[in-house]
Amino acid sequence: MTKLLFANIDEPDLNTIDVYRRHGGYEALPKALKMSRDEVQAQLESSELRGRGGAGFSMGKKVSFLPHGAMDKYLVCNADESEPGAFKDRELIQKNPHQLIEGLIIGAYAADVNRSFIYIRGEYQYQADILDAAVKQAEAAGYLGERILGSDHTLSLVVHRGAGAYICGEETALLDSLEGKRGNPRLKPPFPANQGLYQGPTLVNNVETLSNVPHIIRMGAKAWAEHGVQNSTGTKVVSVSGCVRNPGNFEIELGIPTRDLIMGLAGGPREGCTIKFFFPGGSSSPVLTAEEGLDIPYDFDSMAKAGSMLGSGSIIVVDDTVPVVEVAKKVAKFYAHESCGKCSPCREGTNWTVKMLERVDTGEATPMDLDIIASVQDQIIGHCLCVLGDSMAMPIGSLVRKFRAEFEEHIERAREARGMGVTVPEPEPVGIAGADPDVGPY
Amino acid sequence: MARVQRYPDGSRVPPWDRAVDLNKEPAPVPEPAVTPVPEDLRRTIEAYMSKYPDRRSAVIPSIAAAQRHYGWCSPEALDQVAAVMRLTPAYVESIATFYDMFETEPKPAHDVYVCTNISCSLLGADELFEHFIETLGDEGDFNIRAFECMGACDIGPMASVDGVYVGPLELDDVAAIANDVRDGRPVLSRKQLAHRAAADPGAAVPVPDPDTMAAGPPMPPERGRGEATSPEDEP
């Protein structure tokens, strides 16, 4: 299978500029600088490269949304990869940082941006050090700074380290955090393309999206778009983790069967286990059971059609040894912890969901509480400032819907273990004084 | 079930007039003249401030620098950041309390963040965290925290020891990690993420390994003996 982003990924010292150049690195940049900005933008748009951070929005379109003219515009690379199950950006930064930097310079050229930032999460200390060193090398080689390679393009790049907050992966919260505030999402619109960092037009792109840009310019958009399927062009680095034998990052062409990915590349479930369900796009995507999900192609549209989403392309596999209530509790607790507290559906909804799931776990709940859990999820979806609330509501809602029998069984068993009686006793009919029992009170 | 702690009035949150001194003036931006800042810390913070169009952007790296300098975000440390950056202490504190990696209570010297999120917990991270607490919790050298996903699910269950990712961990590795940290060695070097090859079979470049190098390069797979043909077999 074609490797673009992962070509030579394990070559020793690929993170240095010399080795990267030996493998054809920084050849796309002069090619792009010889083209006009509009031509580069047209290449990006005709490649139909979709954002790899989770939303899947066309990158070329995003670039075209930025206003033209001389003003302070910014490009921010989102390397705050904190979605449970996602670790593709980590490997791309650690092993091939110059690919990202080259893509970022070309993206900045297309959008006519002179200042750029890479917001990397604080936990990635090793990766941030590598990135710092790579930026220094690129500056020394004249790829960053004033009048890059003799063109009229000028770009500065700052690597900014976060300090541990999942919410800063949301683009407007990331911009707030980069401005030195608490990472709270902003109301949209205005979208960052109009009013973003320091109130200026801002292009926000994921690490993998930008890493694809040099390949699009090098190969030409048409040749690049031959990889993958319609509406999901190109290759995708997919992180597979959880109950599989060979967890890790795999670069695939979009549209291959999900079975090949989980059973083939990731080695399938562990000895003696079978796959119960999996999260196709990180812990925020609705789960698919093995029967539903394994035979559909892994691309944006097929996943959406199956009622889930590709998201950041991170598969978490759960096998039949794991109680579904445990998974639901873990996921809900994570989002309750990371909710920034700015808007109430998310702040309250995530907390109450955790409390209700704990009641389910200890057997204090009744099956009716499962309906309440499901209805709380429905009231979160679409009612928040950002997608963090939805990110909990979608998987929890799908878990309760698809595994309701197991939830109910769990409640029964927990009640039994606590000696609370297996079934809830029927309430005694309350007699109303003076009413004829045969006729009824009314 | 754990009992909820309550204040004398029965509420679970402090009374509204109790947490603050209502007669106190809000703290202004600290005066540089009366807030001595160590010279290297000041220089680091000023270097961060010069990198951004708006100096306030440097607040996260600056608090991180102060935490590295003092070991935790003490009120004095935050005051010093505020003094150099010309911000109010309250603003700096609001940032320090928002982000998980800033510690506003004194903490032991070595950070051990154990991932207990979904992918790692499917592989036994909760037991691992319990074991960390049991073995090293009382030592006083280790700041052991259950952390949310750190983006290394491929090496789950994993931990970040002073910023170094190690995994997949077994319960026995806990003692080895403690010994490595105490002796100042690289932590569990054979299980560090930095040395891990990509899982993707198509991207793999054979990594020279001391054991296989001695035995020579790997031989191509032998063909099945039944298929082997020799010139004599040819008709």
The string of DSSP letters for B97-163 reads HHSTT--SS---SEEEEEE-SHHHHHTTHHHHHHHHHHHHTTTSSEEEEEE---S-GGG-S-EEETT
A-chain residue closest to B112, CA distance: A123
Residues 6+ apart with CB under 8 A from A92: A5, A99, A100, A207, A208, A211, A237
Q: Which residues of A152-191 are buried (b: 16+ CB within 10 A; e: fewer)?
A: ebebbbbbbbbbbbbbbbbbbbbbbbbbbbbbbbbeeeeb
Query: Quick check: B118 and A242 CB within 8 A?
Result: yes
Position A356, amino acid = M
CA distance A25 to chain B (A): 17
Is residue A164 within 8 Å of B38, Cβ to Cβ? no
Q: Give Cα separations from B115 to A9, A388, B127, B130, B189 (angstroms).
A: 26, 20, 11, 12, 19
For A413-419, what is the mean pLDDT?
89
pLDDT digit string (tens) for A270-296? Answer: 999 999 999 999 999 999 999 999 999
Position A336, amino acid = A
A-chain residue closest to B56, CA distance: A180
Q: What is the pLDDT of residue A331?
A: 95
User: Is the alpha carbon torsion for A386, A391, A393, A394 positive or negative?
Assistant: positive
Q: Give Cα separations from B43 to A79, B70, B85 (angstroms).
A: 27, 15, 11
The two tokens of residue B62 are 């600056």
Q: Tell me the whole-structure pTM to 2 decimals.
A: 0.88
Torsion of CA A129, A134, A135, A138, to 10 degrees: 170
Query: Quick check: A241 and B113 CB within 8 A?
Result: no
Position A409, amino acid = E
User: Is the alpha carbon torsion for B145, B146, B147, B153 positive or negative?
Assistant: positive
Which one of B57, B59, B151 has the shortest CB-CB distance to A87?
B151
Q: What is the pLDDT of residue B226?
A: 37
3-class secondary structure, A76? strand
Tell me how many residue pairs between chain A and chain B have CB atoms under 8 A apart.
Answer: 177
Closest residue by Cα to residue A418 from B1, B3, B4: B1
Residues 6+ apart with CB under 8 A from B172: none
Is residue B157 within 8 Å of B120, Cβ to Cβ? yes
Euclidean distance between CA atoms A12 and B55, whole angstroms: 38
Res A441 pLDDT > 50: no
Tell which of B129, B145, B193, B200 to mutate to test the A interface (max A CBs under 10 Å): B200
Burial of A433 (0-12, 13-18, 19+ CB in 10 A): exposed
User: Is the alpha carbon torsion for A203, A209, A214, A218 positive or negative?
Assistant: negative
pLDDT digit string (tens) for A320-373? Answer: 999 999 999 999 999 999 998 899 999 999 999 999 999 999 999 998 999 999
Tell which of B56, B86, B153, B196 to mutate to test the A interface (max A CBs under 10 Å): B153
Cβ-Cβ contacts under 8 Å, B54 against chain A: 179-180, 198
CA distance A119 to chain B (A): 12
* pLDDT-derived band at B217, boundaries 50, 70, 90: very low
Q: Read off the DSSP letter of residue B168.
A: S
Tell which of A5, A72, A83, A87 to mutate to test the B interface (max B CBs under 10 Å): A87
The two tokens of residue A242 are 């959880």
CA distance A116 to chain B (A): 10
Q: Read off the DSSP letter of residue A262.
A: I
Q: What is the pLDDT of residue B17?
A: 67
pLDDT digit string (tens) for B72-109? Answer: 999 999 999 999 999 999 999 999 999 999 999 999 99
User: Is the alpha carbon torsion for B29, B35, B41, B46 positive or negative?
Assistant: positive
Query: Quick check: A123 and B52 CB within 8 A?
Result: no
Instruction: Specify the residue for token string 């702690």.
Output: B5
Compute the half-sphere exposure of residue A100: CA atoms within 13 Å on the CB side of its CA. Answer: 36
Q: What is the pLDDT of residue B7?
A: 77
Across all residues in chain A, what is the average pLDDT? 92
Is residue B141 within 8 Å of A108, Cβ to Cβ? no
Euclidean distance between CA atoms A192 and A66, whole angstroms: 9
The two tokens of residue B162 are 């002073």
CA distance B54 to chain A (A): 7
Query: Quick check: A123 and B197 CB within 8 A?
Result: no
Query: Quick check: B203 and A72 CB within 8 A?
Result: no
Integer-rounded Cα Rg, in Å, for chain B is: 27
pLDDT digit string (tens) for B36-77? Answer: 999 999 999 999 999 999 999 999 999 999 999 999 999 999
Euclidean distance between CA atoms A400 and A387, whole angstroms: 20
How many CB atoms lie under 10 A from the CB of residue A264? 14
The two tokens of residue B83 are 């003094």
Query: Quick check: A241 and B119 CB within 8 A?
Result: yes
Reply yes or no: is the peptide bond before residue B168 cis, omega within 30 of 0. yes
CA distance B226 to chain A (A): 28
CA distance A36 to chain B (A): 28
Compute the half-sphere exposure of residue A318: CA atoms within 13 Å on the CB side of its CA. Answer: 25
Euclidean distance between CA atoms A282 and A355, whole angstroms: 23
